[in-house]
Amino acid sequence: MNEGVTAETETPLADELLANAERRRRLDEQVFTRPPHTRVLTVANQKGGVGKTTTTVNVAAALAQAGLNVLVIDSDPQGNASTALGVDHHSGTPSIYEVFVDGAQIADVVQRSPQFDNLWCVPATLDLSGAEIELVNMVSRETRLRRALDAFLAAQATTEERRFDYVIIDCPPSLGLLTVNAFTAGNEVLIPIQCEYYALEGLSQLIKTVELIKQHLNPTLRLSTILLTMYDQRTNLARQVADEVREHFPTQTLETTIPRSVRVSEAPSYAQSVITYEPGSSGALAYREAAREINDRANGGDEQ
Ligand SMILES: Nc1ncnc2c1ncn2[C@@H]1O[C@H](COP(=O)(O)OP(=O)(O)O)[C@@H](O)[C@H]1O
Ligand SMILES: [Mg+2]
C-alpha cells in the first residue's frame, strides 16, 4: 500500500512518474515462462461495467507483449474486446456467431490483432445478440464453443512454436448460454470485481453457476483468479471492498489491483489496448503486473 500520502503533497506527479519508471524497468526485465499447457481463462461476472472486457484485452495484450501466444475469444455481442484489439467486426464479418450457430471452424474466423504478431482474436458482431435464443433448441448447445476450441487448439499444437499459451474468453454480462459455453470451454474462471458498493452482490450466484458447470459439464473448471479493478486507493470504500474480497478469496485474489485511470478507458476509442496506447501509464503497468502474477501462478506449483 502506498502510505506516502503526506510526502506526496510536495510533488505527487514527479513521485508517481519516478515510481512508474522503476516499475516499468522491472517489468521489462522479466521473462515470462510459457505455461506447460494451454490455459483457458473465462472472464466472467454477470454484472456489466466491472472491467471484464478491459481485463480480457489488457491481460491478453500484456501476455502477448511478453512473447506468449494468446487468443482472445470475444463472446459479447457488443464486440468491445474486438474493438480494443483493432480487429474488424462489422456486421457480416465471420465471427464467433458462425462458430456457435453454423458450426464454423475457429480457424476460419480468427484474426490477428495489429497490436502484436502473437495476439489473435475471434471477433464478435451484433449478430451474436440473437445467438442466445437460437442456441436454445440446438443439439449440444452448452458445448459448442468447447468443441470448436478443442479442435482449433489441437490443430495449432502440431508445432510447439504455434501452440497457444493462453485463451481468454470475454463474456457478456449475464449467465445465459453464451457464458455457459465459455465456462464449459475454459479451465479457469477469472472474475473482475469493481471496488465499489454492491461489489460482492451476485457473487454467490456466479460461484454457484461455476459449481454447477463443474458438476455437470466441465469437471476441470475452477475459480482460479480474482482481480480488483477500478481501485481508488484514496477511498475507504475501495479499501474495505478489497479487504473483504481478500478475506473470502485469499488464494484467488491477485496482489495487483488495477487503478482507475483515464488512459485505460480512452484506449479502446483508438482501437488499442492500454498496453500499446500508453505503455508508461499506471493502468498499463498494473495490467502487466497482473499478467505476470497470473503467469507465475501457472509455473509456480499451485496449479494442480
Ligand atoms: N481501470 C479503469 N479505469 C478507468 N476506467 C475503466 C477501468 N476499467 C474499465 N474502465 C471503464 O469502465 C467501463 C466498463 O468496463 P468494461 O471493461 O467494458 O466492463 P464490462 O466488460 O464488465 O462490462 C468502460 O467504459 C471502461 O473503459
Ligand atoms: Mg464487456
How many Å apart are CA 252 and CA 272, to the nearest integer? 28
Please give the distance, rounded to the nearest whole angstrom, from the Cα atom of residue 159 to the centre of ligand 1: 36
| Per-residue pLDDT tens over the stretch 143-160 | 999 999 999 999 999 999
Task: Name, in order, each residue with C-beta under 8 angstroms of 256's C-beta and a sequence gap of 6 or more.
Answer: 227, 286, 289, 290, 293
Residue 25 lies in a domain: no
| Per-residue pLDDT tens over the stretch 265-297 | 999 999 999 999 999 999 999 999 999 999 999
Residue 210 lies in a domain: yes
Look over the chain and give the mean of its residue pLDDT values, rounded to a whole number. Answer: 93
Residue 230 lies in a domain: yes
282 lines ligand 1 (CB under 6 A): no
- Confidence band for 242, pLDDT divided at 50, 70 and 90: very high
Is there a contact between 200 and 242 (Cβ–Cβ < 8 Å)? Answer: no
Confidence at residue 300, expressed as pLDDT on a 0 to 100 scale:
55
Q: Give the residue numbers spanning the domain of 267.
A: 37-296
297 lines ligand 1 (CB under 6 A): no
Query: CA of 253: how far to CAs of 9, 82, 163, 229, 288, in Å?
Result: 31, 27, 28, 11, 16
Q: Are strands 119-122 and 70-74 parallel, antiparallel or unpaired?
A: parallel
User: Can you read off the three cell numbers belonging to residue 69?
Assistant: 501466444
232 lines ligand 1 (CB under 6 A): no
pTM of the model: 0.94
49 lines ligand 1 (CB under 6 A): yes
Query: CA of 226: how far to CAs of 175, 207, 253, 260, 265, in Å?
Result: 18, 12, 4, 17, 20
Per DSSP, the three-state class of 77 is coil
* Total domain count, the chain: 1
Confidence at residue 290, expressed as pLDDT on a 0 to 100 scale:
98
Residue 29 lies in a domain: no
Is there a contact between 45 and 206 (Cβ–Cβ < 8 Å)? Answer: yes
Residue 8 lies in a domain: no
Residue nearest to atom 23 of ligand 1 (CA): 49
Confidence at residue 201, expressed as pLDDT on a 0 to 100 scale:
86
Residue 17 lies in a domain: no
Please give the distance, rounded to the nearest whole angstrom, from the Cα atom of residue 168 to the centre of ligand 2: 13
Rounded average pLDDT over 105-120: 98
Provide DSSP, 256-286.
EEEEP-HHHHHGGGGT--HHHH-TTSHHHHH
Residue 55 lies in a domain: yes
- pLDDT at residue 7 greater than cutoff 60: no
Task: Name, in order, each residue with C-beta under 8 angstroms of 103's C-beta and a sequence gap of 6 or more.
Answer: 144, 148
How many Å apart are CA 78 and CA 118, to the nearest integer? 24
Confidence at residue 83, expressed as pLDDT on a 0 to 100 scale:
98
Please give the distance, rounded to the nearest whole angstrom, from the Cα atom of residue 136 to the centre of ligand 2: 22
How many Å apart are CA 64 and CA 271, to the nearest integer? 16
Atom index in ligand 1 nearest the CA of residue 57 equals 17
Q: Give the orientation angle of helix 144-156 with respect to helix 177-185, to 10 degrees.
A: 40
Q: Which range, 16-25, 148-157, 198-207, has the best average confidence (pLDDT)?
A: 148-157
Residue 4 lies in a domain: no
173 lines ligand 1 (CB under 6 A): yes
- Domain CATH for 202: 3.40.50.300
